[in-house]
Structure 1
Amino acid sequence: MSFLIKGIVAIGLILYPFLVGYSLANGQYIWVSCLLIVFGLVRLFSKGNALLWPLTGFAILCGGLSLLLKDHAWLKLYPVFMSVGAFIIFATTLIKPPSMIERFARLAEPDLPLEGVIWTRKVTFIWCGFFVVNAVIALMTVLLASTKIWVLYNGFISYILMGILLLGEYLLRKRQQKLHQAQK
């Protein structure tokens, strides 16, 4: 998939909660359902990473069920499924290493030492826990909250929490590395 198309799909999925909120406020959610299906199909037919298949399948499923059942609730459920899909992806890498966080860490440090591998595996467990909690909160926003609260959590707060976890892990990993280097 070209860099431009990947960028458009990524931006569209990041803005997804806002698109859903806007479409529901205007009573026109069908175009968002179609857009979600298109994003899923673009991912499906690209030669992307097989690890992303759960996210791809959930996009097509939620968009398709929204259209078939004429029910916008499926659009609001997509962030729940995204967290479930991310959990599946991260948990799979714990079963078939390297762990997801190790893969990310090796982008910056190809020669990650054993201590780093152990550390990143533990952090991958933490991310799995995060995705479970995030899925539960996202589901609660679908079932118990207004669309405005749903958009606020799924389009802003959850991203902030992911950013904090990502930055915190990076800073703590650097600290751990310095401690292990000082002990040598």
Structure 2
Amino acid sequence: MKQIIRGIVVILLILYPFFVGWSLSHGQLVWVSALLIGLGVVRLFSPGHALLWPLTGFAILCGSLSLLLKDHAWLKMYPVFMSVGALMIFAGTLIRPPSMIERFARLAEPELPASGVAWTRNITVVWCIFFTLNAMIALATVLFAPMQVWVIYNGFISYLLMGMLLLGEFILRKRQQRLHPVSNSTEES
């Protein structure tokens, strides 16, 4: 049941820009603000997600400010804060290793060699750069773009860019592994 709820929360957060676009075009500020607060609260009380606290806090903050100030701009700011939150999470793992990408890599390869650790650290830096740029573009769509551009960028293009970065990293990692194979005898010495 917990996995189903977690899956629903993830899907709703992915579809969030479309909910905002639709609700604001139909004058439904209150229900989408409540939805964002509700998703944040569900995530807040989900066990084992301490690393996601920045994203959770920003969801509750943006939804609450939107309701209290009756200003839809706070709803549009959530993707900006999501990128800032992801940047905080990824950068935090650079300060307190293992890096985020190393954590992901160890799911598939628990005995990650030292070269793999260095590689994943560098890829985590690349993700930090991506989240910085994504936050700046998302902010520009809030401040300077019509709602349709905001929805297209934050609901489609940013996810497409993330997917391309993930795919590119996967392809380059496999290439790196082929070019620099690590034998068991090398790892032991």
Contact residue 113 and residue 182 of structure 2 kept, 8 A: no
Partner of residue 142, structure 2: 142
Which residue in 2 is equivalent to 1:118? 118
Q: TM-score, normalised by structure 2?
A: 0.95
Q: What's 2:50 paired with?
A: 50
Q: Which residue in the other structure is 2:82 paired with?
A: 82
Where does residue 37 of structure 1 map in the other structure? 37
CA contact (8 A) 2:41 2:56 kept: yes
Q: What's the counterpart of residue 127 of structure 2?
A: 127
Displacement of 1:48: 2.7
| Structure possessing the higher radius of gyration over alpha carbons | 2
1:26 matched to 2:26? The reply is: yes
Deviation of 1:182 after TM superposition, in Å, equals 7.9
Cα-Cα RMSD: 1.3
Taking every aligned residue pair, what percent have the same amino acid on both sides?
72
Structure 2 segments unaligned to the other structure (5+ residues) = none
Paired residues in the alignment total 184
Give the Cα–Cα distance (whole angstroms) in 2 for the partners of residues 18 and 25 of structure 1.
11
Secondary structure of the structure 2 residue equivalent to 1:97: coil
What residue is the counterpart of 1:179 in the other structure? 179
Say which SS state the counterpart of residue 48 (structure 1) adopts.
Answer: coil
The CA distance in 2 between the partners of 1:48 and 1:74, in whole Å, is: 28
The aligned counterpart of 2:159 is 159
**Structure 1 stretches (4+) deviating beyond 4 angstroms?**
none
Query: Residues 44 and 53 of structure 2 are in contact (CA less than 8 Å); yes or no, is this contact kept in structure 1?
Result: yes
The letter for the 2-side match of 1:9 is: V
Which 10-residue stretch deviates more, 153-162 or 44-53? 44-53
Cα drift, residue 113 of structure 1: 1.0
User: d(CA) in 2 for partners of 1:91 and 1:182?
Assistant: 28
Structure 1, unpaired ranges of 5+:
none
2:73 alignment counterpart: 73
Which residue in 2 is equivalent to 1:105? 105
What corresponds to 1:169 in structure 2?
A: 169
Q: Secondary structure at the match of 2:48?
A: coil
3-state SS, counterpart of residue 161 of structure 1: helix
Closer, same or farther in 2 for the Cα pair 1:104/1:182, shift >3 Å?
closer
Residue in 1 aligned with 2:5? Answer: 5
